[in-house]
Amino acid sequence: MSQPPQMRVSMPDDKVPGVYADFVSVWHTADVFTFDFAALSRPPARVEGDDGTPVTQAPADRVGDRDRPPTAPIPTVARGQVGRKPVAVPAGRNSM
């Protein structure tokens, strides 16, 4: 049986601790996925939207990071077909 591919990931020491985020917004266009990680300034609240329907408003003090990973593996990751090992997308890589 062949060995699975191995990968070594390194990052600058100042990025190792990470940036605190308690919220992520995921959005996409036809060819780009974007993940915005944010720290909320207060708990989410139910408010009335522009059309009168209830929405949840989550005020964020700051966006901790915006990631735009390569789009090719996104469908595989979303389906959970990546095997039993965790998959990591490096934070802080603002491509595009």
pTM of the model: 0.50
Residue with tokens 């966006």: 63
Confidence of residue 96 (pLDDT cuts 50, 70, 90): very low
Rounded CA gap, 60 and 48, in Å? 18
Rounded CA gap, 93 and 18, in Å? 13
Instruction: Output the six-digit token pair for 82.
Output: 């990546």
- Rg for the chain (alpha carbons), in Å? 17
Give the angle subtended at the CA of 13 by the CAs of 34 and 33, to the nearest 5°.
Answer: 5
Confidence of residue 81 (pLDDT cuts 50, 70, 90): low
Tens of pLDDT along 23-49? 888 888 877 888 888 888 888 889 998
pLDDT of residue 95: 39
Which is higher by pLDDT, 76 or 83? 76
Domain boundaries, the chain: 18-77
Q: Per this entry, what is the length of the chain?
A: 96
